[in-house]
Structure 1
Amino acid sequence: MNYSFKIYLVFSLLAVSTMMAQQKDVEKGDKDFYNLSYIEAIQHYLKATEAGDFSEETLRKLGDSYYNIADYTNAAAWYGKLFDFAESTNPDYLYRYAQSLKSTKQYEASNKIMEKLNKAKPVDERVSLYVNERNYLEEIEANSGRFELANLSVNSAASDFAPSIYGDQLVFASNRDKSWASKRIHEWNEQPFLDLFVTNTKDTATTSVEKFSSKINTRYHESTAVFTKDGETVYFTRNNYTKSDLKKDSEGVNRLKLYRATKTNNDWNVEELPFNSDQYSVAHPALSPDEKTLYFASDMPGSLGMSDLYRVAIIGDGFDTPKRLGNTINTEGRETFPFISEKGHLYFASDGHVGLGGLDIFVSEANATNTFGAAYNLGKPVNTPKDDFSFVIDENTNTGYLASNREGGKGGDDIYSLVQLKPLVKLCQQDLSGTVRDEKSKEVLGGATVTLLDDKGAQVAQVTADEKGMFTFGKVTCDTSYMLRSEKQEYEAAEKALVTTSEAEVAIKETLYMTPVVNVVITQDNIGEDLFVLLDLNPINFDLNKSNIRPDAAAELQKVIAYMKQYPTVKVDVRSHTDSRGSDAYNEKLSDRRAKSTVNYIVRNGGIDASRLNGRGYGETQLKNRCSNGVKCSKAEHEQNRRSEFIIVAK
């Protein structure tokens, strides 16, 4: 065997040995990963990468392992390597990469990844939220500074979270060392299992903490408790562990379940809730103010994301079928840790809604149909680039608690007390103001009446411009269509369409230009004249088969209204017409509807007495051009016949 062949053989054996070592590390990592033992999985995957394994699968699972234990700095680093390796990777990984970047305050880089996600999966609910809230940092800033937070003295070097009020006491979850806990380690993050603890809420300086109840706490996880007002019933989260039996799903994963405990003879009687399952998790309960509805988080079939929020009616001692909250709340990310305040506001944690990174806390208000509207970020300091969650508040005292793994804490997660200093911005609103000016001279017009209308023409508000021609309406709703109208003696009414943007708390300034009225002297000779000609109106047309007033027609009708106000004795006959398409009988009815629609608009929106107006339809009997039955005409030619006329019948 020559020397060069020996060298080749040695290198080949080394390569095979290295590949086998990589494979073993990956196999061990996969086993730990699927058993949710993320700390152990990370160690094996890191050994595999040190040996040269930078496969897409290994990078994904390494990034996921860090992401699942909320180590977003390392998650961003490994997702970044994954992104470099396969730029067109799965949208879920793009989103987690963006979230991890955001959690490390790399906002511009995060936005770029979200743009790529937008191209890869534009129908993703998280993408839709991002696209609609591009200025999310400004929106978050609008709600910032509304709370004051303080780290509680009861926090430990372990994880403390899920605060809940129990009379004058605070109940919370913690994995602080216990007599036997240090011997039982949860594989997910190699931390002791969680129990429920209790401390006095009034004495904020106390460090006295006790286990809540030996009947409720077990060898495994207990957390997130919520109590009825009488303190006799508690709902809480526990591992799938009942009567000393720890159950797992078909993939060997031990899921979370909800339990209810009722107090009997000063002790707790624990029962499992009927909608639990061995195949999915149900966790983090919250009660409605009337205690007739239970809210919770779950990844049960039908969930949009990693976990969604649900609610279920409590019927006596039983429960109805759980119902998933709508897509204004749930996303393809994580929605979890719900809390319902006394005013019925839903507070929850999410990494699917646009935030600062990790889990952020959001609030949503229920509408008249008991469905929840848009979710709004609570801003800083409630939210940070880290995980912020399990928010509770007493809206009578404006005090409460939340948990966070933010920098500067004592342990993995800490509980913070909070005081609300001022109300939240729960609606996206903008400030609308403007100026009225003369169209020709551009001089300001004081005293003009300015009206704000919705997209259906209904009045929203009305103000009078001051001597400088300035007007203000204050708050208007984001992403909404409006119409601005100004009226003033000796001027034609002016209208301007307005569509607000999705950017919260910005100032909108509009200018309305008004044209002086052309004074027309009403004489006997004007009887029978058409105001269309006298006032030089633009055509007042209708859409095919429609009788509603179009925005362009509304602006012209304002000129008719202004004229009739200037000459209060004038009476007008409104005559509406159709084109020749359709049967004669149908067109007569259609034109009559158009005449009535026109008259109603002038009366309703202009305040003109109905006795001064008469209206009827003429169908296709008075065409303005050659386009009669059977004659081929263009759309524009037919449109000329779909019109209303305004004939002066009395001065």
Structure 2
Amino acid sequence: MKFKLIIVLLVFVPLMGTAQDKKSKADNLYYGYQYQKAIEEYKSEMQKKPLTNGQLLNLADSYFSVGSFDDASKLYLDVNKNDTIMSVNQFNKMLQSLSKNSERDRVRTFLRSKEAQLSPELLENSEFNFSLLDFPASLDNVEINLAGINSPQGDFSPTFYKNGILFSSSRGRNSKNVYEPTGESYLDIYFSRLNSDNQLADVASFSEIPATDFHKSTPYYSTKSSTFFYILSNTEDGALRYDENGKNALAIGSLSETGKFRFLLKDLSTSFYYPFFDDNSERLYFSANFADSYGGTDLYYVYTTNGQIMSAPINLGPRINSPGNEISPYIFNGSLYFSSDIFYGLGGMDVYKSNIISNDSYTIPVNLGEGINSSLDDFGFIIRNGENGNFTGYFSSNRKGGKGGDDLYGFSMANDPGLKTFTLQGKVVNLINKSGLDKTQVRLLNHEGEVLKQTYSTIDGDFRIEVPWVSQITVEAMKDGYSVISTSYSEEGMEKLQNQSYNIGLVKMQDLVVNREDKTVLKLDKFYFDKGKAVVNAEVETELKKVVDAVTRFPQLRLRIETHTDSRGSSSSNNRLSQDRSDAIKDYLIKNGVSSNNIVKSIGYGEDVIKNSCVNGAYCLDFLHKQNERTLFVVE
């Protein structure tokens, strides 16, 4: 497993023996990474006295490390019932063990039981990826080939450089010391060029980065800044440097092609891994295990200016980071690729892809599926545009059929990898006072009206929802006592929504109605038809559009259209005119999308219901007559 190379055993602790004098023989074997021997010794010690919960977790970790997932899951579950000392990373291993034993339903049940304690992002990420595993699929039109330059040792972490790649390896060299925990050489950086057949060839130690007797690994080359970024052991005067606990950590350094070297990230007690420099944002991404980690190693970035670090490390957050380990960040075409050993994957480390919505917002990381991923460790994924519109790249894996521990693989594919998803995020607000509306149900439906997914807005009205890409989407939002919104979008419209905030405005029924003449009616401005006519003019249309909007927002709304005239003219002509006006209003509403089911009746009362003393024969000013000419939309 490559993690023993790049995360666990790269952190060399020579004073371990002193720190473990009070530990049992089994503990010493466990902390010495001799997991199979630790298992046997723990089983022997159990015959003499019960193991502590900490030792049971060590035993569970040992079973996990040697692939005995059934034994591991039983111990993790037992400790989880009786104690709270389990780390979030061990929590992930417990669920990984269950997943590896094909107990995904049990994992889902366990997650639901812990829903209150888990982040909504973790629950959503897991459910999304588990649903993909329920219908497993491999990448279409992808060719994967074992690189011919691999050695019997570990070869991993490729990066594009000029006409070839740089990569890391523990292959032996006379000039390089042996790293005692692995029995292999300290990690070094190598270069391999692409030959005329587009195959990697002619491996050589990369001399442009100064030699060191210790670890030098996981390079990344920025073409724009002509700078190498890589990790190296902390040293002083040519010797390893340790913190007060005897720990030697890894730093990130940069080297310009002019030969200027800088330590960018260095802490004697914290190791940094897998640097990636984004030329567009000038962010330096990396992996580390800080106090704010969501699990093991998380992905972080720092801002830089002219090669100088300009910010504290910023965690990419729970959408990307998990109770597992996240490593190997790589950005291409607006998407973040990385690897994680989170429990909902195919194996150990899997490659995931997340689209970058904004500076610190990401879509659900999607497993790239079988092919790139396997039942073992797959990581260090890099990709670029190839010939004829395809994509090419490399990754590392310790899958069966390789030459050594971790091996380099090349790939070529016709399509951009990863499942395309549709993400909608924004805010639900009250249209009247613009405040956020919480607990509003937001749903996405397909072209057949089937609900793909639903969510609820937060206390501030914020929401986010994501589904696999479809040809058409309908967005619905509803809240008790409020209007309903339903809008459909084609693929073109969906593409536009992907990169902007989508705000939904709802309104309370009480804000749309008023009491008039002892009736509940829609709140509209007063409008008038042209004298003696029943034709919908511009003034009338302005108010009728509000009626259409109200019915759209409240589809169950039932209205009775009541039209009145003043007393001028004959009673029969006024009755006829008011009925014609009611019918004209009804026709307009139906032509503009209001269902006839929403209109209970359209009736003209003529001059039968006069509001003031302006009856037949009475002298009244025009504005008093106008008070009697009106249309009411009565809510049934």
TM range (shorter): 0.5 to 0.7
d(CA) in 2 for partners of 1:558, 1:401: 65
Residue in structure 1 matched with residue 152 of structure 2 by the alignment = 157
Quote the offset at 1:375 in angstroms.
Answer: 1.2
Judging changes above 3 Å, is the alpha-carbon distance between structure 1 residues 359 and 174 closer, same or farther for their aligned structure 2 residues?
same
Q: Secondary structure at the match of 2:409?
A: strand
* 1:210-230 C-alpha deviation (Å, 9 max, x unpaired): 111275342222221111115
- Normalising by structure 1, we get a TM-score of 0.60
Quote the offset at 1:132 in angstroms.
Answer: 3.1
Residue in structure 1 matched with residue 233 of structure 2 by the alignment = 239
Aligned pair 1:136/2:131, yes or no? Answer: yes
Residue in structure 2 matched with residue 96 of structure 1 by the alignment = 93
Quote the offset at 1:554 in angstroms.
Answer: 2.4
d(CA) in 2 for partners of 1:451, 1:175: 51
d(CA) in 1 for partners of 2:133, 2:209: 48
Task: Check whether the contact 1:155–1:410 (CA below 8 A) recurs between aligned residues.
Answer: yes
d(CA) in 2 for partners of 1:258, 1:645: 73
Task: Check whether the contact 2:161–2:221 (CA below 8 A) recurs between aligned residues.
Answer: yes
Which of the numbers 340, 344, 354 marks the counterpart of 1:350? 340
Q: Secondary structure at the match of 2:247?
A: coil
Task: Check whether the contact 2:218–2:275 (CA below 8 A) recurs between aligned residues.
Answer: yes
Quote the offset at 1:164 in angstroms.
Answer: 0.5
Residue in structure 2 matched with residue 646 of structure 1 by the alignment = 633
Quote the offset at 1:198 in angstroms.
Answer: 0.9
**How do 1:157-556 and structure 2 match up within 5 A?**
157-181=152-176, 184-187=178-181, 189-202=182-195, 207-213=201-207, 215-229=209-223, 232-264=226-258, 268-273=259-264, 275-290=265-280, 292-321=282-311, 322-341=313-332, 343-352=333-342, 354-369=344-359, 371-397=361-387, 398-423=391-416, 424-427=418-421, 432-434=446-448, 452=474, 454-455=476-477, 457=485, 459-461=487-489, 553-556=554-557
Task: Check whether the contact 1:98–1:111 (CA below 8 A) recurs between aligned residues.
Answer: no
**Root-mean-square deviation (Å):** 4.5
Task: Check whether the contact 1:401–1:417 (CA below 8 A) recurs between aligned residues.
Answer: yes
d(CA) in 2 for partners of 1:451, 1:426: 14
Quote the offset at 1:206 in angstroms.
Answer: 5.4
Task: Check whether the contact 1:349–1:360 (CA below 8 A) recurs between aligned residues.
Answer: yes
Task: Check whether the contact 2:297–2:325 (CA below 8 A) recurs between aligned residues.
Answer: yes
- Which amino acid in structure 2 is aligned with residue 80 of structure 1? K
Residue in structure 2 matched with residue 511 of structure 1 by the alignment = none
Judging changes above 3 Å, is the alpha-carbon distance between structure 1 residues 139 and 196 closer, same or farther for their aligned structure 2 residues?
farther
Judging changes above 3 Å, is the alpha-carbon distance between structure 1 residues 122 and 72 closer, same or farther for their aligned structure 2 residues?
farther
- Which amino acid in structure 2 is aligned with residue 160 of structure 1? D
Task: Check whether the contact 1:558–1:606 (CA below 8 A) recurs between aligned residues.
Answer: no
Residue in structure 1 matched with residue 524 of structure 2 by the alignment = none
Task: Check whether the contact 2:164–2:200 (CA below 8 A) recurs between aligned residues.
Answer: no
Judging changes above 3 Å, is the alpha-carbon distance between structure 1 residues 271 and 453 closer, same or farther for their aligned structure 2 residues?
closer
Residue in structure 2 matched with residue 626 of structure 1 by the alignment = none
Judging changes above 3 Å, is the alpha-carbon distance between structure 1 residues 276 and 138 closer, same or farther for their aligned structure 2 residues?
same
- Which amino acid in structure 2 is aligned with residue 225 of structure 1? P
Quote the offset at 1:286 in angstroms.
Answer: 1.0
Quote the offset at 1:552 in angstroms.
Answer: 7.8
Judging changes above 3 Å, is the alpha-carbon distance between structure 1 residues 369 and 571 closer, same or farther for their aligned structure 2 residues?
farther
* 1:185-242 C-alpha deviation (Å, 9 max, x unpaired): 242x444321111111335555521111275342222221111115831000122235
Judging changes above 3 Å, is the alpha-carbon distance between structure 1 residues 409 and 572 closer, same or farther for their aligned structure 2 residues?
same
Q: Secondary structure at the match of 1:57?
A: helix
* 1:3-48 C-alpha deviation (Å, 9 max, x unpaired): xxxxxxxxxxxxxxxxxxxx999534434655xx313x65345334
- Normalising by structure 2, we get a TM-score of 0.62
Quote the offset at 1:117 in angstroms.
Answer: 5.1
Task: Check whether the contact 1:309–1:336 (CA below 8 A) recurs between aligned residues.
Answer: yes
Judging changes above 3 Å, is the alpha-carbon distance between structure 1 residues 190 and 428 closer, same or farther for their aligned structure 2 residues?
farther
Residue in structure 2 matched with residue 50 of structure 1 by the alignment = 44
d(CA) in 1 for partners of 2:556, 2:162: 62
Judging changes above 3 Å, is the alpha-carbon distance between structure 1 residues 232 and 647 closer, same or farther for their aligned structure 2 residues?
closer
Unaligned runs of 5+ in 1: 1-22, 437-449, 464-472, 484-526, 528-539, 541-547, 561-566, 574-598, 614-621, 623-643
Quote the offset at 1:176 in angstroms.
Answer: 1.2
d(CA) in 1 for partners of 2:127, 2:237: 49
Q: Secondary structure at the match of 2:61?
A: helix
Judging changes above 3 Å, is the alpha-carbon distance between structure 1 residues 98 and 435 closer, same or farther for their aligned structure 2 residues?
closer
Task: Check whether the contact 1:143–1:425 (CA below 8 A) recurs between aligned residues.
Answer: no
Q: Secondary structure at the match of 1:367?
A: strand
Aligned pair 1:63/2:60, yes or no? Answer: yes
Judging changes above 3 Å, is the alpha-carbon distance between structure 1 residues 243 and 24 closer, same or farther for their aligned structure 2 residues?
closer
- Which amino acid in structure 1 is aligned with residue 54 of structure 2? E
Quote the offset at 1:151 in angstroms.
Answer: 0.6
* 1:309-349 C-alpha deviation (Å, 9 max, x unpaired): 112222123121132213211122211110011x2211001
d(CA) in 2 for partners of 1:235, 1:462: 43
Task: Check whether the contact 1:297–1:309 (CA below 8 A) recurs between aligned residues.
Answer: yes
Judging changes above 3 Å, is the alpha-carbon distance between structure 1 residues 139 and 428 closer, same or farther for their aligned structure 2 residues?
farther
- Which amino acid in structure 2 is aligned with residue 49 of structure 1? K
Residue in structure 2 matched with residue 107 of structure 1 by the alignment = 102
- Which amino acid in structure 2 is aligned with residue 176 of structure 1? R
* 1:390-438 C-alpha deviation (Å, 9 max, x unpaired): 10000354000111111221111111101123233231699934499xx
* 1:76-103 C-alpha deviation (Å, 9 max, x unpaired): 534434545775563643430321453x
d(CA) in 2 for partners of 1:83, 1:224: 36
Identity of aligned residues (%): 23
Judging changes above 3 Å, is the alpha-carbon distance between structure 1 residues 85 and 572 closer, same or farther for their aligned structure 2 residues?
closer
**How do 1:552-571 and structure 2 match up within 5 A?**
553-556=554-557, 570=583
Q: Secondary structure at the match of 1:391?
A: strand
- Which amino acid in structure 2 is aligned with residue 460 of structure 1? S
- Which amino acid in structure 1 is aligned with residue 414 of structure 2? L
Q: Secondary structure at the match of 2:153?
A: coil
Residue in structure 2 matched with residue 523 of structure 1 by the alignment = none
d(CA) in 2 for partners of 1:48, 1:372: 43
Quote the offset at 1:66 in angstroms.
Answer: 5.9
Task: Check whether the contact 2:129–2:367 (CA below 8 A) recurs between aligned residues.
Answer: no
Quote the offset at 1:245 in angstroms.
Answer: 3.8
Judging changes above 3 Å, is the alpha-carbon distance between structure 1 residues 460 and 373 closer, same or farther for their aligned structure 2 residues?
same
Judging changes above 3 Å, is the alpha-carbon distance between structure 1 residues 605 and 462 closer, same or farther for their aligned structure 2 residues?
farther
- Which amino acid in structure 2 is aligned with residue 193 of structure 1? Y
Residue in structure 2 matched with residue 636 of structure 1 by the alignment = none
Judging changes above 3 Å, is the alpha-carbon distance between structure 1 residues 323 and 553 closer, same or farther for their aligned structure 2 residues?
same
Quote the offset at 1:60 in angstroms.
Answer: 1.7
Residue in structure 2 matched with residue 509 of structure 1 by the alignment = none
Unaligned runs of 5+ in 2: 1-19, 424-443, 451-471, 478-483, 505-533, 535-546, 562-579, 597-601, 603-610, 612-630
d(CA) in 1 for partners of 2:490, 2:175: 70
